[in-house]
Amino acid sequence: MLIEFICNGKKINIDVPADMRVLDLIRDGLGLTGTKCGCSKGECGACTILVDGLPECSCLLLAPKLQGREITTIEALERPGGKLHPIQEAFLEEGAVQCGFCTPGMILSTKALLDVNPSPSVAEIEEGLSGNICRCTGYTKIVKAVQSSALKLQGAEI
């Protein structure tokens, strides 16, 4: 079926099978492989994207559901000229990235959290990122990266 949606600011018109997962649409159909598949069951959060600004596991979402909506994937965060998004910078600087497989999802969950809650408490960070599993870091540096992202974003707004 034909669907129309916005992906990373760009209007997409595409014919998709009704049972296609959004994860496969973005990875295979649109070639955006920054979104990862870790479990296909909505358990690990590696495939997190933003749908109308809210984090969703793209492995659980069927492509027709995107009709008329707007999605953001990790590829949208880097700014023109190669400047990293403040959240990306923070993850890098704080050592919140090890193997990096959970990172795109982790960064998008962070963005969704900070978009609605610019200075979250530790408990709120835990809640916001509880759907994203990381096996490498032990999460301590991820929490620091979220806090540092919040400061960077506040600074950027001033």
Partner 1 sequence: MKKQNLSQVGKSVVKVDGRELVTGKAKFSGDFKFPELLHGYACRSKIAAGYIKNIDISQALKIPGVVDVILPKDIPGNNLIGVLPPHDQPILADKEIRYAGESYCIAIATSVKAAKAGAKAVKTAIDPITPILTIDEALAKSARKIHPNGNITISKNLIKGDCEKAFAEADIVLEDTFETSNQEHAYMETEVVCAEPFGDGRVTVHASCQSPFHIRGHIAANLNVPASKVKVVQAYTGGSFGGKDDAATEIGSLAAIAAVKHGKPVMISHEREESIVGSTIRHASRIHYRIAAKKDGTITGKEIKILLDGGAYAAESPFVVMKALIHSAGPYKIDNVKVESTAIYTNKTYCGAFRGFGVPQVTFASESMMDELAKELKMDPLELRRKNALKPGELNATSQIFEESVGIIETIDKVIEINKSYQLPAKEPERYLYGTGFASMYQGISNGAEGIDVVGASVQAMQDGSALVSIGLTELGQGSRTVFAQIAAEVLGLTMDKVIVKHVDTDSVHDSGPTVASRSTTVGGMAVFKAAGEVKKSLLKMAALMFKTEENNIVLKDNFAQLVFDEKAKIPLKDVCVATYWTGFPLMNLSFSKAPEANYDHDNTQGNIYIAYNYGTHMMSIRIDKLTGAVKVLKHVAVHDAGKVVNPKAFEGQVEGASLTGLGLAHLEKIQYKDGVIINPNLSDYAVPTIKDRIPSETISVETYNPTGPYGVKGIGEPPVSGAASSFANAVANATGIRFKKLPITRQDILKAIKK
Please give the size of the binding site for partner 1, defined by CB under 8 A. Answer: 52
Q: φ, ψ for residue 134 (rounded to 5)?
A: -130, 125
Phi, psi of 71 (to 5 degrees): -120, 155
Closest CA to 115 of 45, 24, 27, 50: 50
Q: Looking at beta carbons only, is 33 or 117 nearer to partner 1?
A: 33
Rule CB under 8 A: say whether 141 interacts with partner 1.
yes
Longest CA pairwise span in the chain (Å) = 46
Nearer to partner 1, 17 or 53 (CB): 17
Among 53, 95, 115, 154, binds partner 1 (CB under 8 A): 95
Among 98, 117, 124, 147, binds partner 1 (CB under 8 A): 98
Smallest separation, CB 78 to partner 1 (Å): 5
Q: Which two tokens stand for residue 54?
A: 């809210």
Binding flag, residue 8, partner 1 (CB under 8 A): no
Out of 93, 117, 147, 152, the only residue in the binding site for partner 1 (CB under 8 A) is 93
**Pairing of the two strands 48-51 and 70-72:** antiparallel
Q: Is 142 in the site for partner 1 (CB under 8 A)?
A: yes
The reply to whether 121 sits near partner 1 by the rule CB under 8 A is no
- Pattern 48-87, partner 1, x by CB under 8 A: -------------------------xxx-xx-----x---
Sheet of strand 54-57: strand arrangement = 10-15, 2-7, 70-72, 48-51, 54-57
Strand-pair category, 54-57 with 70-72: unpaired
The contacts of residue 76 (CB under 8 Å, 6+ apart) are: 8, 9
Binding site for partner 1 (CB under 8 A): 27, 31-41, 43-44, 46, 73-75, 77-78, 84, 88, 91-95, 97-104, 107, 125-126, 129-130, 132-143
